[in-house]
Amino acid sequence: MSAGIAMAMLGCLIAAMILIPALPGYDPYGQNLSAGYTEPFQTIEGKLYLLGADALGRDLVGRLALATRVSLAISVAAVAISMTIGVTLGLIAGFFRGPAETAIMGIADLQLSIPRVLILIAVTAIVGPNLVNLTLLLGLTSWVSYGRVARAMTLSLREREFVLAATTQGASPIWNIRKHLLPNVMPQMVIVGSFELGQIIILEASLSYLGLGIQPPLPSLGLMISEGQTALEINPWLSVLPGMVIFIVVAGVQFISQGFTAEGADARTSAMAAP
Amino acid sequence: MTRFVLFRIGQSVFTVFGVLTAAFFLVRLSGDPTALLLPEQATAAEVAALRTELGLDRPLWLQYGLFLGKALQGDFGMSFRQHSSALGLVLERLPATLELALTAFVLGIGMAFVAGLALRLSGSRRLRALFYWIAFVRQAIPIFWFGLLMILLFSVSLRWLPSLGRGGIEHLILPALTLATFEFALYLRLLDAAFSEQQTQDYVRTAYAKGQTRARTILQHMLPNALLPIVTVAGINLGVLLGGAVVTETVFSWPGVGRLIVQSVSQRDYPVIIAGILVTSVVFVLINLLVDLLYAVLDPRVRLS
């Protein structure tokens, strides 16, 4: 029931995010200084500001739509990057074992021994904050959970008959990994990814809030909250609305992820019950 | 047991060493810091003099060795922006961070225990649904936005509590609550899952079979066993807490290590960034080590295997 509501809200939000920038009058960069700090539902100079406007009088509807696009695009791309890295390294570690496994798992442990936010802050300080760096860094630092799960699954899969049979028939390791291991590991990776997506959205927002992510004039949800914080007493909506968007997106993603996890658990139990 | 302790200590030393190495090479990759330190019209001779002074004219491996040697002595160089040692600046801020993180941890885990035990003892499904709903909502809210909402409610609207800085207990309440509610959400689920796992164990059935009351079974038999898995994840979750502290400190202008690091990033003050990251990692690694040793003391299966 409530999962349905969450998904409906998420769907509406994504639809709005795609449709709004196509409509006239919602230019995310169009300034109107006489409309500065307009509160929601007010009309200034004959234009209705449905969600208000920021310090420079930029319409919040347009900015929120663009910011949500930016935040979601970065997060989805980061999840794709980290999943690719994690699955590859996990399969290599689990299938080949030996020094490769020791090295990969060593790096994973090392990375887990420093809070992820700190790694991101430190590296951003050096490479400089921008959209591409942010996406790459989020992707590069988030592979560990995929890697560990993929390795653990590979360790048991590689002893299964269908893999052994292929090996005895002369299948190369690469062929085995591609044809037998990857398809079996992927469903679980999607589950991990759906959980990670929510985390990455929050992480991206946090970094942008700290000034280490998306740089103005491009809007991002975290950046809008930080810009709004300076005007908290004048127009609190500037910070409250982008936060609500983050909440709706992350809650929706988490609901879907929980659904996945439950289904995944069912699938695993039934797979184990099978002879 | 001795082998386990030695292995874990060796692992911790390796981690700190890895952090140092990564920090050194990342900073070197970032280019020449002389451009940051000297005015734009500096002559080539001045640049060369500074490069010699900072040791940048030496081979990379020698620079790395010297960096490690100095770091072991706690010398990370001078801050580029302030005239004091980088480590000194960080250590000055450490008590503020520890105060915030510890308060939040104790508060959060305390709330989680009260809530977790309440729903076990009452056995109420509604209470459970309510707590899980709270935890779910809290986990979908970024820490900094939650902090802002707290400021909006308690500082801007009600004017009960100050919104920034460090001082008396009234300054601590909002940032500590912001972090603590996040910890609460995390530990409530963990604790409840740990209890559910114990619920089906034989010793619980035995306790009930010999006529033990529900409350005593839960508090005397299940609670100590449910604590074990909590201890294992407490170390890892500390990373989440420290990361959250960085963001919380910025929201509330709390003068801790996290805020110092974020400020140093915008000023490109590399020695302070490295010292800050290293001190935080050492604290994190040390606590993780202690947690693991504590776990081995609590659970004989770990130290005997």
CB-based contact, B270 to chain A, within 8 Å: yes
* Number of structural domains in chain A: 1
Chain segment A231-243, per-residue pLDDT in tens: 777 788 888 888 9
Cβ of B285 within 8 Å of Cβ of A113? The answer is: yes
Closest CB to B243: pick one of A118, A125, A246: A118
Cβ neighbourhood burial of A245 (10 Å; 0-12, 13-18, 19+):
buried
A208 within some domain: yes
Contact (CB, 8 A) for B163 and B155: yes
* Domains of chain B, earliest start first: 98-268 (1.10.3720.10)
Domain containing A71 — which CATH number? 1.10.3720.10
Residue type, B154: F
A136 within some domain: yes
A39 within some domain: no
Closest CB to B268: pick one of A125, A243, A251: A125
Q: Is this prediction's ipTM beyond 0.90? A: no
The proportion of chain A whose per-residue pLDDT surpasses 90, expressed as a percent, equals 11
CB-based contact, B245 to chain A, within 8 Å: no
A167 within some domain: yes
Contact (CB, 8 A) for A144 and A111: yes
Q: What is the CA radius of gyration of chain A?
A: 23
- Rounded to whole angstroms, how far apart are CA atoms B164 and B178? 13
Beta-bridge partner residues of A53: A59
Q: Which domain holds residue A147?
A: 2-22+57-273
pTM of the model: 0.84
Q: In terms of CA atoms, which chain A residue is nearest residue B241?
A: A115
Q: Which residues of B touch A236 (CB under 8 A)?
A: 152, 156
A51 within some domain: no
Contact (CB, 8 A) for A211 and A34: no
Q: Which residues of B touch A233 (CB under 8 A)?
A: 156
Cβ of B141 within 8 Å of Cβ of A247? The answer is: yes
A44 within some domain: no
Q: From first to last of its 305 residues, what are the pLDDT tens digits of chain B?
A: 777 788 888 888 888 888 888 888 877 776 666 766 777 777 777 777 777 777 777 777 888 888 888 888 877 777 777 778 888 888 988 888 888 988 999 999 899 989 988 888 887 888 888 888 888 888 888 888 998 898 888 888 787 877 777 777 778 888 889 899 988 988 888 888 888 888 888 888 888 888 888 888 888 888 888 887 787 777 777 777 888 888 899 888 888 888 898 888 877 788 888 888 888 888 888 888 888 788 777 777 766 55
A48 within some domain: no
A45 within some domain: no
Cβ of B148 within 8 Å of Cβ of A229? The answer is: yes
Q: Which residues of A touch B25 (CB under 8 A)?
A: none
Cβ of A210 within 8 Å of Cβ of B250? The answer is: yes
Residues sharing a CB contact under 8 Å with residue B196, sequence separation 6 or more, in sequence order: none
Instruction: Tell which of B148, B153, B196, B291 to mutate to test the A interface (max A CBs under 10 Å).
Output: B148
- DSSP code at position A179: I
Beta-bridge partner residues of A4: none
